[in-house]
Amino acid sequence: MSVEHSAGLTTLSVNLNKVALLRNSRGGDSPSVVRAAGTVLGAGAGGITLHPRPDLRHARPDDIAPMRELCLAPVELNLEGNPFAPANDRYPGFLQLVEQYRPDQATLVPDADAQLTSDHGFDLALDAARLRPIVASLRALGIRVSLFVDMDAVDIERAAEIGVDRIEIYTGPYARAYSCGDAAAALDACAQTASAARAVGLGVNAGHDLDLHNLGALLRYCAPISEVSIGHALVGDALYQGLEATVRAYLGVIADAYGR
Ligand code: PXP
């Protein structure tokens, strides 16, 4: 596989949940998540993200093993999930999946089962005590841990106390503000959260509702962002442009944001 991933820039981790959702709507294996992963990595994406949920509507636990095989360094596998969501007979629990498949990064997200998609970050004051031992056990396995936080999180130093390596800023509200033509306040909030995180030694990821239009401004305003994870818009764009060309277009936006 030819990989010319974006080393030194923000890594583009492509979230393939929407490909899995389409596949699951008919059963069978089409469209293939594995084939999509091969295409996005061949086009130069630096990583794959899967967010298996307990109701299995998106990526399923059995999607992870082939991704682990495809994502060889420096390409990264990022698994997202709620460490507190209970297991069921088809979903063994997020921590068990992480322990079994050893992604390069585990992103902890406080999403509930009934939620359409992740729509808020952790309450750092409320959740710190129960997150701390989980984060320690994941880091002991050599897995980088990222914590999903709101773009205006006020107490970001608590994330460092919890022991995570990175935060992922929830960019949904930024994307909505951008589409209304008034993103200045949201950009300020993201930039302040990013710099507060860096001040306490944390790396900064970002994700949710990012697209070809709003990505560049976010990167320019909040640099350096280590990783963006993008699914919904990217898979939608691929309907019109094709998956490979779409990934290249997102990589182009990232390169432009850094003036390369
Ligand atoms: N980051 C997290 C934590 C998510 O839960 C998701 C959606 O699964 C994304 C990023 C990607 O969001 P989108 O599909 O809107 O690009």
CATH number at residue 199: 3.20.20.70
Tokens 């079994």 map to which residue?
100
pLDDT in tens, 53-64: 988 889 999 999
Report the number of distinct structural domains present in the chain.
1
What pTM, to 2 d.p., does this model score? 0.95
Mean pLDDT calculated for residue range 103-108: 98
Confirm whether 90 is domain-assigned.
yes
Calculate the alpha carbon distances from 51 to 58, 103, 126, 151, 161 in Å: 7, 12, 23, 20, 25
Cβ < 6 Å from ligand 1: which residues?
15, 17, 51, 80, 107, 109, 117-118, 148, 168, 207-210, 229-233
The rounded Å distance from CA 117 to ligand 1 centre is 7
Strand ranges inside the chain, DSSP E:
11-15, 47-50, 76-81, 105-108, 144-150, 166-170, 203-207, 227-230
Hey, which residues are catalytic here? 51, 80, 208
The three-state secondary structure class of 139 is helix
Residue 3 has pLDDT above 50, yes or no: no
Residue range(s) defining the domain that contains residue 211 = 11-257
Confirm whether 5 is domain-assigned.
no
Query: What does pLDDT average to over the chain?
Result: 94
Buried b (16+ CB within 10 A) or exposed e, 223-257: eebbbbbbbbbbbebbeeeebeebbeebbebbeeb
The three-state secondary structure class of 147 is strand
Q: What is the rounded distance in angstroms from the CA atom of residue 217 to the CA atom of residue 184?
A: 10
Confirm whether 180 is domain-assigned.
yes
Confirm whether 4 is domain-assigned.
no
The rounded Å distance from CA 231 to ligand 1 centre is 6
Ligand 1: residue of 14, 21, 48, 51 to mutate (most ligand atoms within 8 A of CB) is 51
The rounded Å distance from CA 69 to ligand 1 centre is 22
pLDDT in tens, 158-214: 999 999 999 999 999 999 999 999 999 999 999 999 999 999 999 999 999 999 999
Confirm whether 222 is domain-assigned.
yes
Confirm whether 2 is domain-assigned.
no
Which band of pLDDT confidence, cut at 50, 70 and 90, is reported for residue 153? confident
Confirm whether 39 is domain-assigned.
yes
Mean pLDDT calculated for residue range 43-49: 98
The rounded Å distance from CA 15 to ligand 1 centre is 7
Residue 68 has pLDDT above 90, yes or no: yes
Residue 35 has pLDDT above 60, yes or no: yes
Residue 8 is predicted with a pLDDT of 66
Residue 118 is predicted with a pLDDT of 72
Residue 2 has pLDDT above 60, yes or no: no
Instruction: Name the residue type at position 182.
Output: D
Which band of pLDDT confidence, cut at 50, 70 and 90, is reported for residue 236? very high
Which band of pLDDT confidence, cut at 50, 70 and 90, is reported for residue 115? confident
- How many residues are present in the chain? 260
Q: Distance between terminal CA atoms of the chain?
A: 24
Ligand 1: residue of 80, 215, 247 to mutate (most ligand atoms within 8 A of CB) is 80
Helix, strand and coil in the chain, % to nearest 5:
45, 15, 40
Q: Judge contact between 66 and 105, C-beta under 8 A.
A: no
